[in-house]
Amino acid sequence: MNVFVIRGKRLIAAVTAVVLTAALAAVFFQSPARREEPVPELECDCGAESDSPVLHEEKSYIKWVDFDIPSSLLEKAMRLDIDTYGTDRHVSWIDMLAYLACKCGGNFKAHRTKDWKALVQKLDEGQTMEQLAADMEYYSYYQEAYTAILGGFLGEFDIELDDPEHPGEKKWMHQYGLKAYSPIAEGYSYGDYDDFGSSRSYGYKRRHLGHDMMGSVGTPIVAVESGIVEALGWNQYGGWRIGIRSFDTKRYYYYAHLRRDHPYQSGLSVGSVVQAGDVIGYLGMTGYSQKENVNNINTPHLHFGMQIIFDESQKEGNGEIWIDVYDITQLLKKHRSTVAKDEQTREYTRVYRFRDPVTGHS
């Protein structure tokens, strides 16, 4: 009898173990699509598997964002934000875009121009975004998501511009507007198309989680937003690459395949502060090699990526969120940093100095 009871307990223990194992497996594999979520093309600094996904599920933060707002709409919303700045009618472009996302269910391929026109009209009539979005269930989600992506693009800043009254001299101007720059310096041509998500095969099959901008070797590469250098050095996918994190920590900008022998602007190292529009490196064709300083990319180009995080756990591993930055680069195409060659150092530096208040110093 005792033996039977013990066997019974063992049976219960065994069944419990099987059930627990199955439950644990279900937690790990509950989302097959997510498990297959590719490791980003270039970011391989990540160590082994990060901490348990079970823990992630318990915390509340945004796990995924699709970003497909056309550059034409980004520009219209940005213009209205800038034009109304400093008035009591100021309206944030992020709020407008969040509102429009609710209107099209977050799928901007379904966006209708009449929704934009109707919004502008309602704002003209004196309604506020708070009133207009009061009943929108997902408004705050899109607000938070788009703030993570675009939060560093508009703001006040000081820039040194040509002084019209004193030809040949410059003077500091205080402005509000677009303070993010195209990653390609002014005067340098490049070719591109929306290549986010297309497949790549070096190493193992994975999706392309960034944007390639084809240009000439040596083209000065510019910091899109001000931030702190978080990664700098060789990576077997990205070659010579640099990663810069925004001051609010939400955005990680990734610039890869930089030039052999002279990839980075001198003086840069992990921890350096860069201002938007600063030259940070030079376009090249390094990468796809475990050996350092090797050109193993066929076409010279900049790989430009943006990863956003809402929680530290999303920095590395399966929870990474990489944004389709194609429309962002289209928006920034007209906003380039002017650079000039310094004959002494043979490097390129920006012509118009810039002070971004977020960097906390000038």
Three-class DSSP category at 11: helix
Q: How far is the CB of 94 from Zn ion (least distance, A)?
A: 27
Q: How far is the CB of 64 from Zn ion (least distance, A)?
A: 21
Nearest residue (CB) to Zn ion, 259 versus 350: 259
d(CA 236, CA 262): 17
Q: How far is the CB of 41 from Zn ion (least distance, A)?
A: 6
Q: How far is the CB of 182 from Zn ion (least distance, A)?
A: 16
d(CA 188, CA 167): 26
Nearest residue (CB) to Zn ion, 237 versus 354: 237
The sign one gets for the Cα dihedral 222, 228, 233, 237 is negative
Phi, psi of 104 (to 5 degrees): -110, 15
Stretch that binds Zn ion, among 58-66, 210-218, 222-230, 313-321 (CB under 5 A): 210-218
In the DSSP assignment, the letter for residue 316 is S
d(CA 76, CA 115): 13
Q: How far is the CB of 300 from Zn ion (least distance, A)?
A: 12
Measured between its terminal Cα atoms, the distance across the chain in Å is 83
Nearest residue (CB) to Zn ion, 212 versus 278: 212
Which residue's Cβ has the minimum distance to Zn ion? 303
Nearest residue (CB) to Zn ion, 212 versus 316: 212
d(CA 159, CA 32): 49
Nearest residue (CB) to Zn ion, 212 versus 324: 212
Nearest residue (CB) to Zn ion, 111 versus 257: 257
Phi, psi of 4 (to 5 degrees): -60, -45
Length of the chain: 362
Stretch that binds Zn ion, among 74-82, 153-161, 297-305, 331-339 (CB under 5 A): 297-305
d(CA 128, CA 34): 38
Stretch that binds Zn ion, among 109-117, 155-163, 204-212, 347-355 (CB under 5 A): 204-212
Closest CA to 238 of 264, 219, 220, 216: 264
The CA-based angle 68-199-75, given to 5 degrees, is: 20
Residue corresponding to tokens 């998501």: 145
37, 81, 212, 230: which one contacts Zn ion (CB under 5 A)?
Answer: 212
Structural Rg of the chain based on CA atoms? 24
Q: How far is the CB of 288 from Zn ion (least distance, A)?
A: 11
Q: How far is the CB of 233 from Zn ion (least distance, A)?
A: 18
Q: How far is the CB of 212 from Zn ion (least distance, A)?
A: 4
**64: Cβ–Cβ under 8 A, 6 or more apart, which residues?**
321
Nearest residue (CB) to Zn ion, 100 versus 321: 321
Stretch that binds Zn ion, among 112-120, 132-140, 145-153, 303-311 (CB under 5 A): 303-311
- A 10 A CB-CB count for 86 gives 10
Nearest residue (CB) to Zn ion, 123 versus 258: 258
Q: Is 206 in the site for Zn ion (CB under 5 A)?
A: no
Q: How far is the CB of 239 from Zn ion (least distance, A)?
A: 11
Closest CA to 123 of 115, 132, 114, 112: 132
179, 206, 251, 303: which one contacts Zn ion (CB under 5 A)?
Answer: 303
Nearest residue (CB) to Zn ion, 240 versus 310: 240
Q: List the beta bridge partners of residue 307.
A: 252, 322
Binding site for Zn ion (CB under 5 A): 210, 212, 303
